[in-house]
Structure 1
Amino acid sequence: MTNHRQRLRKDDWIIEGLNTLSLHGHTSLKAEPLSRHMKTTKGSFYWHFKDLQDFHTSVLTRWEELSLSALEDQSRSEATPVGRLTLFAENLSHPQDPLPAGIDAPVRAWAHENHTAANAVATVDQAREQFLSGILRDLDLPNPDFIHIVHSALIGFGTLSTNNRSADQDAISTLLAALLALRDA
């Protein structure tokens, strides 16, 4: 009896790329180590991607798509502005499936030296700030500085996280409570 392994799809490689990126950074996104980890040949990699740059672009495109999709999901799942703000804060500081935990920090690090990554980050940040702007406008907190402060703080939690989700959530709750207290003052 012959043991036939299921052929890897392009999507399998991209998902592995996102997971590898989140755990080891962009310098680990290379055909040979990924092939070894996936227990296949580099030929499988090059069957789906013309070169490493094509793979990198595919991984960044998927990160961008999933990040933007998460915003759309959030806008549909919470009716109140406070609920949307809380969900936005939770998801930005600790992304949910299908985004791997901790993915934003390595993408942002990559963006410092890669134009394609920088464009993806700029697109996602613009959409996040626009989404946050709508929430804060609904809360009668339209000051653009609040948008920048909240967005930057939430990115910081994801970047500087000590893996103590409870402590992060407590700090995020304090930030949001302070912001909402301004509205009520």
Structure 2
Amino acid sequence: MDARLLTPEDWLDLALQELKAHGYNALRAQPLANKLSVTRGSFYHHFESLEVFHAAVIAHWAKMTSGQIALAAQDIDDATEALDDLLQKTLCSGEALERAIRSWSTVKPMVAEAVERIDQERIDIAETLLCRTGLPKSVSLARAKLLYWAAIGRLMLPFPQNNVLSRVEISDLAALMSTKSYT
């Protein structure tokens, strides 16, 4: 690929692929440049340092995951249907990349801080949807946290692909979590 045609997004897309496949140690300038068949100088043309690049990788991950989910949730008028859509996406995908990001966050404080912020943004999305169903804020927040913790917990199991719910079970969970019978 011609270095002049590369964009920062090309580097970031490759970074997410490499992170998913090989972990955070793959996020270095020279190996990534080799994968793109360009010099390391091309990397530094787009990113002033590895630290800046790593911050951009996290932001790109958030945009490609949470950002897409948030946009989809906003596009669905019915809150229970939007919650169901959110749960269908979060409880059925993302295992390898999510695990790699969380592994990276255990060794790099900047990543841990970013992941914590993104976790809160994701919880906020679920809380907003639950509030839209008519639940009180305190109930919505507690349920949003439980849903999120369950989703992340499943991903951290040794074989998350063996621990999935069917689409019907996920829809039932969305309906249960949005029910107003909470006393």
Scaled by the length of structure 2, what TM-score is found? Answer: 0.78
Secondary structure of the corresponding residue to residue 103 of structure 1: helix
Give the alignment of 1:6-155 within 5 angstroms: 7=4, 8-94=6-92, 102-142=96-136, 143=139, 144-155=141-152
Which sections of structure 1, spanning at least 5 residues, go unmatched?
none
Contact 1:31 1:42 in 2 (8 A): yes
Q: How far apart are residue 172 of structure 1 and its match?
A: 3.4
| AA at the equivalent of 1:13 | W
Contact 2:15 2:27 in 1 (8 A): yes
Q: How far apart are residue 68 of structure 1 and its match?
A: 4.3
Q: How far apart are residue 92 of structure 1 and its match?
A: 2.2
Superposed CA deviations along residues 41-89 of structure 1, whole A, max 9, x for unmatched, are 2222222222221211111122233344224312332111111111111
How many Å separate the matches in 1 of 2:142 and 2:10? 40
Contact 1:94 1:102 in 2 (8 A): no
Identical aligned pairs, as a percentage? Answer: 25
How many Å separate the matches in 1 of 2:41 and 2:89? 37
| AA at the equivalent of 2:142 | D
Q: How far apart are residue 13 of structure 1 and its match?
A: 0.7
1:172–1:102 Cα change, 3 Å: farther
| AA at the equivalent of 1:156 | G
Aligned length: 177
Contact 2:134 2:180 in 1 (8 A): no
RMSD of Structure 2 on Structure 1 (CA) = 2.9
1:150–1:59 Cα change, 3 Å: same
Q: How far apart are residue 178 of structure 1 and its match?
A: 4.2
1:74–1:129 Cα change, 3 Å: same
